[in-house]
A and B are shown apart, each in its own frame.
Chain A
Amino acid sequence: MTEETLKKRIKELEYQVKELSDLLYQKELLLKNIYSSKTWRLGQLYGRIFGVESIWRKKLNTLRQKIPFLRTKLLSFKTSDYEIKVTDKHYKVIEEFIKELDFKKGIIITIANIRMTDKVNYRSDQLSHRAVRLAKEFNKMGFLIFFIYSEDRDFAEDESIEPIDSNILQMHISLYLKLYKFIFDKLISIHKPRIFLIQGLSPFLIEIVANANAHNWTTVYDILDNWEEFFKCGWHSWYERKIEEFVLKNSDYRITVSNFLKKKFVDYEPIYIVHNGYSCKIVHEYTKKLKRGKITIGYFGNLERYRFDWEFLLSIAKKHKEWLFYLIGILPSDILLPSNVKHISPVKPELLYAYAKNWDVGIIPFKINPLSISCDNLKVYEYLYFGLPVVARGVGDHIANYPYVSIADTEQEFEKQIELSTEIKIDEKEISDFLRQSEWNARANEMLKIILSKPNTYKELIFESSFYS
């Protein structure tokens, strides 16, 4: 194919993507209108009675599946001639930043699907995101951090390079793509740990990971989530199974959060497990007074249908009108809540305790599917930190070993465990002992121990020297 034909093809694909995006937007608007109509609500009731599923949602998902395919197709043409303008300023900022390494323990480049800080928009998920938390802990330990974010917009032409403080530098992956060779070359003779930590995927990673390996960086793939299942639900358009497999195979170390993900990628063993952690700085003394039920039950987090089992929860709520449920998060527009289920819009993490103080038990009523059981839910640690017993469903099997956590797959069992949880006397010492080893700094140490424990055989052999010696 000539360059001209390729350019033509790119234009055609760009047009198709735009067209599909517009179509998606229109359909979403249409859905929004439908969801807010009385007819729809009546239809929902009808659907619940007769088990009819939403045809529109299915169509929307099919459409969503097509967009990432076209985007990645486009990306494959565009990856190497991405139009980001690299200026002297970028090089200067990096050179100044790297100078700090003389006083540091080592350097870590983190690739994440989220920004560490966003000056424009406040996002609550940033504060507790594993990639962000670990980067901060590594930084506290004395590592210099390049925080490379891709979010869900690989086409963004973001040229900003942002020192978050003197030891963390944040930039978009499209800019990093232009600068990574410069950074690798600058650091080629550094005899300190150089860790390339992948915590989010992108097609660009094929090139970057391969170059990190060729420059004798220790590459680590930290599998935070079941990206593939998210993709199937219409999220994370950047996902491609083969790219994930490439990253798995080409990383020196593979780390994940749950047994399910470890088993999923059994072909790429060894895979180590380092669970998620919690931060003890999320408590606020303020108390939000809430109405109590015979048992007051709380939940915060994702309320989307692909994970949260609404039918399951609402069925329990209907049976136990004397119980009061509080759900904090973004409520899907098609959900009708009974009077004993109260919705609260998202609150900042440091204010969660103000609400949780009113609860008797924290719940996780998730669907039992590959997506939910792959996760290591942060909220378990947070519930425990708030002194709440936990009743959960559709979570990783390791959670059953945590103190004051009961797993209940059926409605009857879930109800029973909620009732039993009110009789539990919480031993605060037991919880604090457990949580101490689950703090983010403990997790960061656990991860470093794995990464620095033994050299990677092929690199030690090819490159002769490594930072371990």
Chain B
Amino acid sequence: MKVLFIHRFCGKGGVTVGIRKKFMGLRDVGIKADFLFLKDTGGTYLFDDIDINLYNPQNLNEIESILNNNHYDVISSIDCPEVHRILEKVTLNVKVICEVHTPYSIHRSYLKDGNLPVNIQCIVTPSKTFKYLIRKELKDRFKDIPIHVIPNPVENNFLKLSGRSSYTFPRKIIGWIGRFDETKNPIELFNIASAFASRNDIEFYIVGNPPNDKFNLIFSEIRKFKGRINFIWLPFIDHRKIHNFYNMLRISSGCFLSTSKGECFCNTVIESMACCCPVVASNIDVFKEMLEDGDCGSLYRLGNIKEATKTIIRTLEDHAYRDKIVQNAYNKVKENLTIAKVSLQWKSLFDMLLNV
């Protein structure tokens, strides 16, 4: 079986990392996959250690010839409506699916506009919450398209609990990862960090970059930050080292924080869970689904800084509670979200589409 994944970008973000993980899993179940992207935004190195074909066509004709020459069984467009008209031209035996991952509503407008390929077989999305959202957003004529939920997996090295625990950190570290944009809500993060400025035993490590390297947001947040600067900003961490980041949070007895206003499924949250790093997150629906408040992580009301600080303090200082959520979260990931388990779900979906 041969599958092609198509996305707008080949970058360093969640979607490209997700495609890498899909390759690894599908390879293990005997499925060959390729990746076609429209713009290289610096993520091709993510595939250096994988035997795959990467395509970066310069025009629509080139895309068409790639599709025609490679005889794919399944083609998946991941939030990439630019290619939908071309996908309509493939032969009947090629099954076309669409994956919806973007939490940015503007990038999902193609659902509302009905801009899906007419030969679409199904939609795949990583969480139930997102499934309901997509269902609401779909145009009437696509209302009956089946929507499958297949979560994003975590790579096995996250579950190994690496990192030398002999390190003693002088402070508990609260980690945050994301783009500095409205959806990931970094302003709330800075407000929460500021609320901890008087505590010398807590510090923040912020990983992320503003879109298009526009640094105004971080400049202005630093300028108006109330109290002692208590955060270290790292614009990026190579995905091959990112598990070390969560391990560092765990070893320092800290936690991972997400202030996001919208997610389809949060890779950073499941990666934290896999590394036994407790998670505190805003109470958006996706996090409710993933963390089951008080069971696999802690939630606070989005926008409520007082509640966020209270929740963080409980997660850091109530050891019994911390141990419980960490263990439950780890078990949840290990049982459901390994690459092996998730790739089996993909295989059954492809088998079903191809009537194997």
Q: Which residues of A contact B (CB under 8 A)?
A: 76-77, 79-80, 203, 206-207, 210-211, 213-214, 240, 242-243, 245-246, 248-250, 267, 457-458, 461-464
Which of A80, A249, A267, A458 contacts B248 (CB under 8 A)? A458
Convert B213-238 into 0s and 1s, putting 1 for each residue whose CB lies closer than 8 angstroms to a CB of A.
11110111011010011111111110
Contact A249 B215 (CB under 8 A): no
Contact B230 A206 (CB under 8 A): no
The listed residue with most B CB atoms (<10 A of its CB), out of A207, A243, A245, A461, is A461
Contact B163 A461 (CB under 8 A): yes
Contact B167 A76 (CB under 8 A): no
Chain B residues closer than 8 Å to A214, beta-carbon distance: 234-237
Bound together, the chains give a CA A249 to CA B230 distance in angstroms of 7
Which segment of B18-26, B91-99, B239-247, B282-290 sits at the interface? Answer: B239-247
Which of B200, B215, B228, B244 contacts A464 (CB under 8 A)? B244
Ranked 8 nearest A-B pairs via Cβ: A245-B229, A249-B229, A210-B233, A214-B234, A462-B244, A76-B219, A267-B228, A214-B235
Which of B223, B230, B247 contacts A242 (CB under 8 A)? B223
Which residues of chain B in 176-206 are interfacial with respect to chain A, using CB atoms and an 8 Å cutoff?
200, 205
Bound together, the chains give a CA A243 to CA B222 distance in angstroms of 7
Contact A246 B222 (CB under 8 A): yes
Bound together, the chains give a CA A302 to CA B207 distance in angstroms of 44
Contact B219 A249 (CB under 8 A): no
Chain B residues closer than 8 Å to A203, beta-carbon distance: 219
Contact B167 A210 (CB under 8 A): no
**Nearest Cβ distance between residue A264 and chain B, in whole angstroms?**
13
Chain B residues closer than 8 Å to A461, beta-carbon distance: 163-164, 167, 244, 247-248, 251
**Nearest Cβ distance between residue A130 and chain B, in whole angstroms?**
25
Chain A residues closer than 8 Å to B222, beta-carbon distance: 206, 242-243, 246
Contact B213 A462 (CB under 8 A): no
Bound together, the chains give a CA A80 to CA B215 distance in angstroms of 7
Which residues of chain B in 326-353 are interfacial with respect to chain A, using CB atoms and an 8 Å cutoff?
none
Inter-chain contact total with CB atoms closer than 8 Å: 78
- Residue contacts A-B, CB under 8 angstroms, 23 given: A76-B219, A76-B220, A76-B223, A77-B216, A207-B215, A207-B235, A213-B232, A213-B234, A214-B235, A242-B225, A242-B229, A243-B222, A245-B228, A249-B229, A249-B232, A250-B232, A250-B233, A457-B169, A458-B248, A461-B164, A461-B244, A463-B241, A464-B244
Bound together, the chains give a CA A77 to CA B220 distance in angstroms of 10
Contact A210 B235 (CB under 8 A): yes
Contact A206 B169 (CB under 8 A): no
**Nearest Cβ distance between residue B280 and chain A, in whole angstroms?**
20
Chain A residues closer than 8 Å to B229, beta-carbon distance: 242, 245-246, 248-249
Bound together, the chains give a CA A213 to CA B241 distance in angstroms of 14
Bound together, the chains give a CA A448 to CA B218 distance in angstroms of 31
Contact B215 A458 (CB under 8 A): no
Bound together, the chains give a CA A345 to CA B232 distance in angstroms of 47
Chain B residues closer than 8 Å to A248, beta-carbon distance: 229
Bound together, the chains give a CA A463 to CA B247 distance in angstroms of 12
Chain B residues closer than 8 Å to A79, beta-carbon distance: 215-216, 219
Bound together, the chains give a CA A245 to CA B230 distance in angstroms of 9
**Nearest Cβ distance between residue B225 and chain A, in whole angstroms?**
6
